[in-house]
Amino acid sequence: MIDTRLIMVEGIVGSGKSTTAEYLAEKIEETGVKVVLYREYAQDHPLDFYISRLLQDNYGRHFDISSVVRMIQSKDPAVETLTQWEEFSKICDQGEEVIISESRFWQHETMTWFLCGIDPVEIIERQQEVIALLSVNRPCLVYLANDDVVPVIEKAFTERPMDWQQWVTWMFAEFPYLKTRNLTGKDGIIEFYKAWNLVAEELFERFPFSKVALRNPHDNWQLAYEKLNKALDLSLLR
């Protein structure tokens, strides 16, 4: 297996992050390596971001998004995460296990910045600060990349419950990226993710450590996981 203490799984909503993270945990353990998997909304996740707690505590309910936007735009200390990233890096470095983290690298921070209207240049610069803190762990990035976000979002809206659909469409529409463009509903979310894809591609390109992009994995999950196995050198996989 590749020499890393941290694997981060990222992708848009419905891209298969949870399934892929669970797959990785199971297959890495088959090689005899201990794994700790932190799912996206794990209550015990060391990266206990303000936005993560807010989403967990208010699932299905309306909350004051405008105040969150102001805090992020003004760099309020309450939403600052670099200290948490530094502590998380120490946890990874001091442990013997491989940590798999879902969604906290991009979705719970970087993507939220983009929703708040932060310039992509600033977002990329911020990511480099986080990467510098994680460098001792030789992190690996697994990116579920979908060239066409429409079928992925459509599928998520078909499969997930109505209360999730209503909450997500309300929440996205409250952020500046959609508000300033008069975007609403599922179509507004799709337009946002089209734009986010361009930022994500740039972030992936600039990631300096081990990385693998599983492109359009929904087309053929078996081939996608074969590529993942090869990239991580999971030699015991069959």
Which amino acid does the sequence have at 237? Answer: L
Q: With bands split at pLDDT 50, 70 and 90, how would you rate the model's confidence at 148?
A: very high
Global pTM reads: 0.94
Could you give the CA distance from residue 201 to residue 140 in angstroms, rounded to a whole number? 16
Mean of pLDDT values over 11-38: 94
Q: Computed over its alpha carbons, how large is the radius of gyration of the chain?
A: 17
Q: With bands split at pLDDT 50, 70 and 90, how would you rate the model's confidence at 237?
A: very low
Proportion of the chain above pLDDT 70, given as a percent:
98
Q: What is the pLDDT of residue 235?
A: 55
Cβ of 153: how many Cβ atoms within 10 Å? 23
With a CB cutoff of 8 Å and minimum separation 6, the contacts of 217 are 15, 16, 20, 144, 146, 224
With a CB cutoff of 8 Å and minimum separation 6, the contacts of 40 are 17, 18, 102, 103, 104, 107, 108
Could you give the CA distance from residue 84 to residue 66 in angstroms, rounded to a whole number? 24
Q: What is the pLDDT of residue 158?
A: 95
Mean of pLDDT values over 80-98: 94
Mean of pLDDT values over 83-112: 94
Q: Which whole-number Å values give the CA distances from 19 to 28, 32, 142, 193, 228, in the listed order?
A: 14, 21, 12, 20, 13
Look at residues 219, 211, 195 and name the one whose alpha carbon lies nearest to residue 115. Answer: 195
What are 162-187's pLDDT values in tens digits? 999 999 999 999 999 999 999 999 99
Q: With bands split at pLDDT 50, 70 and 90, how would you rate the model's confidence at 3?
A: confident
Could you give the CA distance from residue 60 to residue 167 in angstroms, rounded to a whole number? 5
Q: What is the pLDDT of residue 233?
A: 87
Q: With bands split at pLDDT 50, 70 and 90, how would you rate the model's confidence at 103?
A: very high
CA angle 221, 20, 177 (to 5 degrees): 100
Helix, strand or coil, per DSSP, at residue 154: helix
Q: With bands split at pLDDT 50, 70 and 90, how would you rate the model's confidence at 236?
A: very low
Averaged pLDDT of the chain: 94
pLDDT beyond 80 at 117: yes
pLDDT beyond 50 at 238: no
For the chain, domain boundaries: 29-232
Q: What single DSSP character describes residue 104?
A: T
Mean of pLDDT values over 82-93: 96
Q: Which whole-number Å values give the CA distances from 55 to 83, 144, 154, in the listed order?
A: 21, 22, 22
